[in-house]
């Protein structure tokens, strides 16, 4: 059946419907990863967004156990070609069935290269996926302009506290939409990881006497997390070592007086070079974010830039002055992506040990 992708600038792409047949309005973003489509689908940071995969063939190894959460989170899925067959000894089904099972609509058979060029040139915009061939642009475009992702952190966070047992350091992981591999990366290094819902009070976390605190990735505009930012400030004021990733990095910056702004089209993929300003080394990183910390408004007495994006010069990490706190915008746990920066988990454990 025909399907249509309608962008808020009035551009319409015609393709074939995949997944659910329901209509959806969402923010349209693109991911440049050449592999790991299942990890992308199950990354909670995509809540409130429809994902365009720039790699042209998706689904050739089906659905495997490589999931970053229990379910897929994007509002929609947009690909050039969806593999008609899948082949992998671990596969349990096809992407088409996976999308249907979780009621996610999508579209294939469109020129994703042309779509990505539009999003790069004009910036991220909202769009609609529909199978209604009698769509009315005059009615749809105002709805697209009005759409916002809203408070998506509450949508993706865990419902209750749970623990990954370990014999090493005790880490409190605040779940703003955490990918599974963050907790796993700590647990594999011996840490006992206690995972808390996003709106847990700082007092409850600190009362458990953790050796360190981890602030996770997550979706949406960090400025929509006002009450969470207040709790992050209390964690900053404690003497507990803190390591933050992605949204957690942005929330810590906002909690300490810095600012964030929305990027033109963000960083989403597994090939972003970041430079460690302390060593001069460059690492290839996995990233998924549409907002960035504004270093022009950073108080050097509070924090200093620690990493920078080699492509566009945007901030990729901060080191906090006089505190055992460091934060990064990229994903050292990868999945999908390179493992270059996994050493940051070891740095965090060393920080807790000292």
DSSP string of 178-208? --HHHHHHHHTTT-EEEEEETT--HHHHHHT
Classify strands 125-130 and 24-31 as parallel, antiparallel or unpaired. antiparallel
286 is in an annotated binding site: no
247 is in an annotated binding site: yes
290 is in an annotated binding site: yes
145 is known as an active-site residue = no
- pLDDT for the residue numbered 334: 83
Query: Active-site residue among 249, 289, 331, 335?
Result: 331
Q: What share of the chain is helix, strand, coil (3-state, %, to 5)?
A: 25, 35, 40
pTM above 0.95, yes or no: yes
139 is known as an active-site residue = no
CA distance 270 to 277: 21
246 is known as an active-site residue = yes
Domain boundaries, the chain: 2-146, 153-353
288 is in an annotated binding site: yes
Q: Residue 24: CA atoms inside 13 Å, Cβ hemisphere, count?
A: 25
Cα dist. 48→117, 150, 175, 182, 217 in Å?
A: 21, 8, 17, 22, 15
CATH fold for the domain made of 2-146: Glucose Oxidase; domain 1 (3.50.30)
312: left (phi > 0), else alpha (psi -120 to 50), else beta?
Answer: alpha
What are 73-126's pLDDT values in tens digits? 999 999 999 998 999 999 999 999 999 999 999 999 999 999 999 999 999 999
Query: Active-site residue among 108, 191, 225, 246?
Result: 246
Torsions phi, psi of 207, nearest 5? Answer: -65, -20
45 is in an annotated binding site: yes
Give the residue ranges of the chain where pLDDT is below 50.
Answer: none
CATH fold for the domain made of 153-353: Rossmann fold (3.40.50)
212 is in an annotated binding site: no
Query: Active-site residue among 8, 68, 316, 333?
Result: 333
């Amino acid at each position: 059946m025909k399907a249509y992708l309608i962008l808020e600038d009035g551009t319409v792409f015609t393709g074939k419907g995949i997944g659910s047949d329901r209509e959806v309005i969402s923010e349209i973003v693109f991911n440049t990863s050449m592999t790991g489509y299942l990890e992308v689908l199950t990354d909670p940071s995509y809540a409130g967004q429809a994902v365009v995969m720039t790699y042209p063939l998706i689904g050739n190894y089906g659905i495997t156990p490589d999931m970053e959460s229990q379910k897929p989170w994007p509002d929609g899925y947009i690909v050039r070609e969806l593999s008609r067959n899948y082949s992998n000894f671990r596969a349990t089904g096809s992407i088409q069935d996976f999308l249907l099972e979780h009621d996610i609509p999508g579209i294939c058979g469109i020129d994703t290269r042309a779509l990505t060029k539009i999003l790069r040139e004009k910036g991220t915009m909202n769009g609609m996926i529909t199978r209604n061939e009698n769509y009315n642009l005059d009615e749809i475009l105002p709805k697209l302009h009005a759409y916002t992702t809203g408070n998506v952190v509450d949508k993706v966070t865990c419902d209750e506290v749970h623990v990954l047992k370990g014999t090493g350091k005790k880490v409190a992981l605040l779940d703003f939409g955490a990918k599974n591999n963050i907790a796993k990366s700590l647990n594999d290094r011996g840490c006992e990881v206690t995972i808390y819902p996003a709106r847990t009070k700082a007092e409850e976390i600190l009362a458990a006497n953790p050796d360190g605190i981890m602030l996770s990735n997550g979706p949406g505009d960090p400025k929509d997390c006002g009450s969470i930012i207040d709790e992050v400030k209390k964690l900053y004021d404690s003497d507990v070592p803190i390591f933050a990733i992605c949204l957690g990095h942005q929330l810590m910056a906002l909690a300490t007086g810095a600012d964030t702004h929305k990027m033109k089209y963000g960083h989403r993929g597994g090939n972003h070079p970041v430079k460690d300003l302390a060593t001069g080394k460059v690492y290839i990183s996995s990233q998924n974010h549409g907002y960035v910390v504004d270093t022009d408004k950073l108080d050097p007495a509070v924090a200093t830039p620690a990493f920078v994006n080699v492509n566009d010069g945007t901030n990729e990490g901060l080191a906090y002055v006089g505190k055992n706190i460091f934060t990064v915008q990229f994903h050292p746990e990868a999945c999908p992506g390179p493992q270059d920066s996994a050493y940051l988990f070891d740095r965090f454990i060393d920080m807790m040990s000292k």
